[in-house]
Amino acid sequence: MTTLLYFVPAFFELPNQDKVFMDLKKILPCNIQQFYDNRKVFILTLDSATPLYCVFFFNLFTLGQCLIFFTTTLIKLIRQSRNKALAASQRTLKMRRKLVMAIVIQTLCPCILISIPMEYLITSTYLNHYDQSLNRLVMIFFALHGIFATLTMVFIHQPYRETTLGSVYWIFRWTRKARKNVHMLNTGALYFTLSRPLNANLDISKILLAVYTWFYAFTISLLAVLFIYRYLAVFNQKHLKFFRGFSMLIWFSYCSFFGFQYSIGTYTFMTFDDISFAYFRDEVPLRYNMTLAEIPAMGIVAYDPVDGSIRWWNVMCLLNIFTIMAIQYTIMICCGLKMHWEMEDKIKYYSPALRRHHQQFFKTLVIQISAPTMTLFAPLVFIVCLPMFNMEIDMSVGVLICSFTMYPAIDALIVMYVVSDYRKIALKLLKSVTRKMRKPFKSPKSGTKSVAKRPEPMSTSTQVANE
């Protein structure tokens, strides 16, 4: 109830927005605008008294309740542990001590991340002190409260900790076991795994193989969305509203659509029939010491082994994959070329810093086209096209699938290398880490030796001290 009502009094004194905006421009040191992307700036009030009193009493009321319940619970637990009449087992006492520690830490978390920053806001408002850096730091503390509260709950309470660590271990174990592989045999391609993901039966494991392809299609579709966003950020900023709030569901649906198209097409067109099953039946035991009927697998055979005719049902899988890749790659190329042709004319009216910033991001996007080309598109194009050449081959190309996992790291390195702001911060952090790592390995006698080498009178005192 307090959370819903503490800010209501300020709304009874709403000022005229146009007039108060002009007054605000005279007060603030920075140049502000009344509209940002067709959204008008709302000013609650210039009189800080009412909001200050509201926030102060809300903070006092909330913090007071927390302190009362915290102190009462702590005293009760301490008294019960010291009362001999209520003697408990060692296990119960240990659980109570853990509970006390958990309550203390869970109380300190909101106090440090919310109450103390709130007290600063109240004090700075009362003293009419303005510091943008500290205000941003306060907002960061507010945003960190959610994740710290969750981490505190997980790592302090044993049941939550064991469940979370168990889930992480289970996911890691599953990802290690469920290795996907592709085997090329002349005009055929076999997509399989030698383990059973989640210990599921054979049919469910085949579905999970198809689900794995959903993530690949979602990733390459997300790359196209990234290029669309960067193009709109430079040339048509009013359409950036589609990248805010619930409008983000449009792009999630866009990426998911191609993900479902890829995975459903894989499961539908790669399901074994009599010809494709017989085509790989003798090869799998020779290569992997398991029969084809024992492992989750799907396969395609582009040409009939008997008469050499095209098997269109299996070829449709290759066309489906190629169509999805072509759509995303076309969007990336078109946005990149459009930015290249119109970039200079568009950003010549920007400030030098903003112009340099956009140029660096454009270079990043250009290089980011080559990174997914080498790690995401080229390996799959090779796998898709190889069966159509009707060559005599017999090899495993699972290592090409491993290249998919290289892209996130390469993409991050590209951004840090091209954008100077990111590069400077990364180098600064690297130097700080290496400096801290070198300190424990420095010889404690190095300072003494350097003093002893100096031909000064202090060297004698140093020798006496060493003796």
Highest mean pLDDT among 149-158, 236-245, 448-457: 236-245
Tokens of 35: 């509209």
SS3 content of the chain, % helix, strand, coil (to 5): 75, 5, 15
- The half-sphere exposure of 33 on its side-chain side, counting CA atoms within 13 A, is 6
Contact (CB, 8 A) for 226 and 414: no
Predicted TM-score (pTM) of the model is 0.56
pLDDT level of residue 462 (50, 70, 90 thresholds): very low
Contact (CB, 8 A) for 105 and 152: yes
Query: What pLDDT, on a 0 to 100 scale, did the predictor assign at position 349?
Result: 66
Burial 52-81 (b: 16+ CB within 10 A, else e): bebbbebbeebbeeeeeebeeeeeeeeeee
Q: What is the pLDDT of residues 93-132, one digit of tens each?
A: 677 677 777 777 777 777 777 778 877 887 887 787 777 7
Average of per-residue pLDDT values in the chain: 77
Question: How far is it, in rounded angstroms, from Cα 102 to Cα 100?
Answer: 5
Q: What is the pLDDT of residues 337-369, one digit of tens each?
A: 887 777 766 666 666 777 777 677 667 666 767
Contact (CB, 8 A) for 55 and 117: no
* DSSP state letters, 40-77: EPP---S--HHHHHHHHHHHHHHHHHHHHHHHHHHHHH
Domain spans of the chain, in order of start: 48-162, 178-428
pLDDT at 256 over 90: yes
Containing H/E element for 35? Answer: strand 35-36
Question: How far is it, in rounded angstroms, from Cα 40 to Cα 214?
Answer: 41
- Mention the CATH class of domain 178-428: mainly alpha
Query: What pLDDT, on a 0 to 100 scale, did the predictor assign at position 172?
Result: 55
Q: What is the pLDDT of residues 404-436, one digit of tens each?
A: 777 777 777 777 776 667 777 878 888 887 887
At 188 the three-state DSSP class reads strand
Query: What pLDDT, on a 0 to 100 scale, did the predictor assign at position 300?
Result: 92
Q: What is the pLDDT of residues 122-159, one digit of tens each?
A: 788 778 777 777 888 888 888 887 777 777 777 777 77
pLDDT level of residue 324 (50, 70, 90 thresholds): very high
pLDDT at 217 over 80: yes
Query: What pLDDT, on a 0 to 100 scale, did the predictor assign at position 463?
Result: 41
